[in-house]
Structure 1
């Protein structure tokens, strides 16, 4: 009977460890998502400017001038 209690206790301890590690992974994933979102917001203005300049360069290479407005 003692072996059953010992086995159940070890199983519970193992599940507790897995639960704690799972929570740490979830917290880290949430933090990573926030960091990626923050980086995206910082990069977006430069990306838009680069896309605009690339479009102007394509038009210039084709012999046309981009519309000014």
Structure 2
């Protein structure tokens, strides 16, 4: 009879462990999503800066090619 209690206890401990690990994975995924969001914003800003900086160069190159 005590085997039954042991099996139920081990099953309960296993389910609790899976729950704790699931919560940890969830937290890690949220952190990763925040980092990806920040990186996307930084890349977008860098792309806009690059476009803004290269516009005068493109105009100058076009003027030089026309002359």
- Please name the residue that 1:34 is paired with: 41
Q: Distance in 2 between matches of 1:50 and 1:12?
A: 57
Q: How many residues align?
A: 60
Unpaired segments ≥5 residues, structure 2:
1-7
TM-score of the pair, normalised by structure 1: 0.73
Over the residues paired in the alignment, what is the CA RMSD in angstroms?
Answer: 1.4
Q: Structure 1 stretches (4+) deviating beyond 6 angstroms?
A: none
Query: Could you say which structure has the greater relative contact order, defined with CA pairs below 8 angstroms and 6 or more residues apart?
Result: 1
